[in-house]
Amino acid sequence: MEAILGYQELWEVVKEGAKEKDEAANKKKDCKARCLLHQCVDLVNFEKIAKAKTAKECWVILQRAHGGAEKNQESKAAMYKKAV
């Protein structure tokens, strides 16, 4: 997701929230980021983030839902290194 949102220049909006002074630009970027997040998740995760008001709120919900994913990936990588 970081690659997709980064390419669209929306990653900062998701991670930190919209910070521009122009309210219309903030709303447009936030809506675009939420739309991309909705398109990138499966039905179960979509139901979790569907009612979120901002892209950042969507991202926080997804992080909470998948909080242990990074540790799990690190431990699998360490396991594969031991096997080799």
Encode pLDDT of 28-59 as tens digits: 999 999 999 999 999 999 999 999 999 999 99
Task: Count CB-CB contacts under 10 A for residue 48.
Answer: 14
How far is it, in rounded angstroms, from Cα 27 to Cα 38?
16
pLDDT of 12 strictly over 70:
yes
Retrieve residue 58's tokens. 């969507």
- The pLDDT of residue 19 is above 60: yes
Sign, CA torsion 16/58/41/31: negative
Q: Domain segments of the chain: what residues?
A: 2-83
Please state the rounded mean pLDDT for residues 61-83: 72
What single-letter amino acid sits at 74? E
